[in-house]
Structure 1
Amino acid sequence: QRFVENLDEVVLHEGDTLVVMADDTFIPTWGESSVFVLLTNGNEPDTTGKKKRWFALLLLVLMIVGATVGELPIMKEMFPDIKLDMFFFVSITTIIMAWTNLFPARKYTKYISWDILITIACAFAISKAMVNSGVADCVAKFIIGLSDDYGPHVLLAMLFVITNLFTELVTNNAAAALAFPLALSIAAQLGVSPTPFFVVICMAASASFSTPIGYQTNLIVQGIGNYKFMDFVRIGLPLNIMTFLISVILIPMIWNF
């Protein structure tokens, strides 16, 4: 719909997309704001010259080559204190591009969801608290105590459930870090190969479907789609059950105890 007059009487509802056609006075105030997304500005000339384009392409090539060479053993020996991975070179490339004004930094940093980043950081703190408080050790002792009465298949299923509960509360990396010593202890107590337990941890830690706080992508779509907590439980819990059944059945068939 097109609104020209009586704008004070227009009622906007949740989910509506409002396209505003404004004049030049709008840009200084709202052009770099996170409230509006600037689609086009006809008065803004194309300042990207050929030199900047070639420089950006050169930085892209150096980033890929640097990340590839940085993983070589000789580079790790030369720079043992620096992790020369893709994240390192992407960060350096982004800083150089922003410093040389290849892109307006404010235009893109406004899309960073700081609340999501803070939530992820707090999740690592929760996982550390679980280790320091002894919760992880108590769970390990409980599982190992059951090894005298049940076979490895039941313990494999229990490890999946425990890891999956961890990953629904904290991040997947933290859940895998918490469950790894449990898997190693269980395999050592039973005298079996730890490989199927490790694979179960990978599957369970990646199956964060039932809560919006278990993974950053869940948080992103929750805000955009206006989903509630129970929406994730209603759709995600059946997916968790399916992943559980498939993993517990197939993993021991592929990776023997």
Structure 2
Amino acid sequence: MPAWAVLISLCAFLALLVSGRTKPATAFTGLAGLYLLAGLVDTPTLLLQYTNPALATLLLLLLVSIALERSPLLDWLSHRLLHGSPRLATAKLMGTSAVLSAFLNNTAVVSAFLGAISRQRRIAPSRLLIPLSYASVLGGVTTLVGTSTNLVVNSFYLNASGQEFGMFQFALVGAPVALITLAMLLWRANALPHHQAEGTRDRLAYFLSAELSPGSPLVGKSIEDNGLRGLDGLYLLEIERGGRLLSPVSPDELLQAGDTLVFTGEVNKVQALQRFPGLTLFGLKADNVLATNLVEVVISHQSELPGQTLQGVDFRSMFSAGVVGIRRGEKRLEGQLGQIPLRVGDCLLLAVSADFRQHRNLDRNFHLLSGSFTRPQLSQRQSFLTLGGFMSVIGLASIGVMPLFHGLVILMGGLLLGNIVTVAELRRRFPFELWLIIGSALAIAQALENSGTAALLAQGMQHLFSGYGVYAAFVGCYFLTLLLTETVTNNAAAALAFPIAWSTAQAFGADPLPFVMAVAYGASACFLIPFGYQTHLMVYSPGRYRITDFLKIGLPVSATYSTSVLVLTPLVFPF
């Protein structure tokens, strides 16, 4: 396959990722398979990429974090950070999440604080959740293990140079950049919306879809006569009848069998629908489903639900729970709710049975916001051993006594022997999609090198910046990565930008290290929209944000972060 054909396939691949119609794992694996069939990479080389030592380290770290995120330390901190003035509480929350995210998976950190912030009523959650998410990203750029993106870049760097990054090599630029950007974030936090649960209109967030059964006594009576107009805390938004929407709903409107009534309202007022016979919520009788405990959850990035509809999945069998309502930020959900494809970050209100907590796939699919259900936690002894073991592994790797991979293997063995994690749990939580993405991306990078496409791209970058020097090319690589991370995902952005940055550095005869760092820092520069980073999606619906809220805060934060990176990186890692 000639270089121009590879370039065309790469552009089509990128368009597919940006469109969101295909999952990244499918797209990366498919392109790697195409290049295998075209002879650009042979079978042994392809298989070798999936066993890359740095990639294996990343997978081990994510599996170890399963135990770390169950430590009561995070819950203990989450209940003690929100004291004091709102500004002080925000500063403490940001500082703590940044420090923790430097060593723990930032998804676990945000998940631990998410429920406590959403349940408290002293400070509006919308004033805290974006700072929490952004601070966790900033903390992650300071260490090798702080974010999966750094470990992804480390995988490519090992493949290209035969060397790995040190534990705190990213901190030379990452730490001052994080401090400067956190100061900007704290200053701009006052511009966040104040979505406090005060007044009915502020609480109209959840959307409920109730279908009217043919035998219901409500059929043939008006909205007013059925008492559906003056519900406490609930508002009848529209009626779907025969494929068309009736909105606004007149109080004189007569109900017909098969009507779908769409309500919006407060979480704790949903039980008001129990007294109306013949209503079914997402196929379940309202009086049965609402007689149980209500639990509020957020769909996680590891869940198997995104892309599916509630009508198309057997939700009750999967989780012993019925879906009562859906919430997606402040977005107005239209149409039949059961047919709306679910997304990562959607909030679901669940009516759970006694068997709900027994399901072993809950942690993989949901982050808990409220309700009586709590995740199983480590005992004090188990927590001490797990955290102590992890910090020992990090410390030994930092001073060069033991490679990080070796330490994580030993720690994982100890966790299994101590029954802190089980093989079944590791199997359920194995980051299979990430493994496919990174392994395939390494193979794609090798194919770009073998076909001459990487050299062609480097020549293009050299031609584009030839009149401006190597620093301009460095800036160009950074902004290319930033654009990719805002439009696809952070790990995919790093995987796509690395071979271009490496080849560009070679074309200019410069040290590749600052260009590699530009990719690492650029891939974590996702501050403008919520869809490029998993922690942003986690806080999107609980904070009841709009995309404009992310832009309002993200623009100054992104500008501060990018300026700091572009100034400091060449000083610390000269060309």
Residue from 519, 527, 538 that aligns with 1:220? 538
| C-alpha separation in 2, matches of 1:252 and 1:97 | 44
Do structure 1's residue 235 and structure 2's residue 553 form an aligned pair?
yes
Residue from 379, 382, 386 that aligns with 1:59? 382
RMSD (CA atoms): 4.9
1:84 aligned partner: 409
Q: C-alpha deviations, 1:150-172, integer Å up to 9, x for none?
A: 30111111111101012113332
2:372 aligned partner: 38
Do structure 1's residue 189 and structure 2's residue 507 form an aligned pair?
yes
C-alpha contact 1:167 1:205 (8 A) present in aligned 2: yes
Letter in 2 for 1:145: H
C-alpha contact 2:530 2:547 (8 A) present in aligned 1: yes
Following superposition of structure 1 onto structure 2, how do residues 12-51 of structure 1 map, counting pairs within 5 Å? Answer: 12=234, 16=266, 18=268, 26=292, 30=353, 32=356, 37-38=371-372
- Structure 1 residue matching 2:531: 3-state secondary structure: coil
* Unmatched 5+ stretches in structure 2: 1-197, 199-226, 236-263, 272-290, 294-350, 358-367
Greater RCO, 1 or 2 (C-alpha within 8 Å, sep 6+): 2
Do structure 1's residue 174 and structure 2's residue 424 form an aligned pair?
no
| C-alpha separation in 1, matches of 2:478 and 2:541 | 29
C-alpha contact 2:505 2:512 (8 A) present in aligned 1: yes
**Count of residues paired in the alignment:** 216
| C-alpha separation in 2, matches of 1:249 and 1:29 | 52
Residue from 511, 517, 521 that aligns with 1:203? 521
Residue from 452, 464, 482 that aligns with 1:146? 464
| C-alpha separation in 2, matches of 1:252 and 1:15 | 53
C-alpha contact 1:193 1:256 (8 A) present in aligned 2: yes
Q: C-alpha deviations, 1:10-53, integer Å up to 9, x for none?
A: 123768452899xxx7469645477961189xxxxxxxxxxxx9
User: Which one has a larger percent helix, Structure 1 or Structure 2?
Assistant: 1
Letter in 2 for 1:206: S
C-alpha contact 1:156 1:200 (8 A) present in aligned 2: yes
- Structure 1 residue matching 2:499: 3-state secondary structure: helix
Do structure 1's residue 10 and structure 2's residue 344 form an aligned pair?
no
Identical pairs, percent: 28
1:96 aligned partner: 419
C-alpha contact 1:56 1:97 (8 A) present in aligned 2: no
- TM-score of the aligned structures, taking structure 1 as reference length: 0.59
Letter in 2 for 1:96: N
Change (3 A) 1:243 1:90: farther
CA drift at 1:208: 0.4
| C-alpha separation in 1, matches of 2:503 and 2:474 | 12
* Unmatched 5+ stretches in structure 1: 41-52, 100-104
Change (3 A) 1:35 1:177: closer
User: Which one has a larger percent strand, Structure 1 or Structure 2?
Assistant: 2
